[in-house]
Amino acid sequence: MILVGLTLGEILGMLTVLAVVVAIFFHRYRRLAAADFSIDPPQVPRSVLVAVKQAEAFAYASEPWYRRSAEYAQDVLTFLSPRLTYRLNFSVGRYRIKPATIEALMPWAEDHGFLQLHGEREQRLRHLLPYFSEQPVINDWQVAVILEWLRCDHPQLRGMSWDEIAADPTLVAKLYSGYMGAGGAWEQWRKSLTPGPVALHRMRLPGGAPTSG
């Protein structure tokens, strides 16, 4: 048996760790069971979501091992303590989403019918947003909401259908520029359909540069 040869202290230590893990996941279960919401994703083509996911994967694969390790550690931490991930605003999930980003768009998603919260407002369970980013279906919904908001926010893109955008990799890269934060230059981002060189680089399109623009 595995326990043969272990001291009483070692056995008690193992049981204590097991009890803590069980307590953590039981608490998580109760929080998730209290969540009462439904989602209806925007009609963002799958190809656009895949392009964004691949761009993020390409970007982080290019980082030094210690940066990649830190990102993986953030994902592990999210399963152990989503509240801490929320407070530190770590980017997590397949699309490396910050909790603050999706939280800021929740009212907009509600207004446009992409999210329905049932029950009291204080039951939003915002501390579980990082945990939801680790769930593929909800994570896809989060990214679709962000991209739809970006499309609606851009004077020229808002007049285009998703089929038009999906058919042009440059337009997808333009949305991805916004997804990355537009370098903080939102007014400039809204003035043209030209994506930044970083977005072009991550999507492996001509004219890309890894660290500038």
- Cβ neighbours of residue 150 closer than 8 Å, sequence gap 6 or more: 157, 175, 178, 179
Number of folded domains that form the chain: 1
On whether residue 187 sits in a domain, the answer given is: yes
Its domain, for residue 80, covers: 35-202
pLDDT score for 213:
38
| DSSP 3-state of 8 | helix
CB atoms inside a 10 Å sphere around CB 14: 13
Chain segment 148-193, per-residue pLDDT in tens: 999 999 999 999 999 999 999 999 999 999 999 988 899 999 999 9
Residue 69 domain-assigned?
yes
Reported as a single tens digit per residue, the pLDDT across 76-101 is 888 888 889 999 999 999 899 999 99
The average confidence (pLDDT) of the chain is 86
The verdict on residue 14 lying in a domain is no
Give the count of beta carbons closer than 10 Å to the beta carbon of residue 3.
8
If DSSP codes are grouped into helix, strand and coil, which group holds residue 13?
A: helix
pLDDT for the residue numbered 22 = 66
113, part of any domain: yes
Secondary structure letter of residue 116 according to DSSP: E
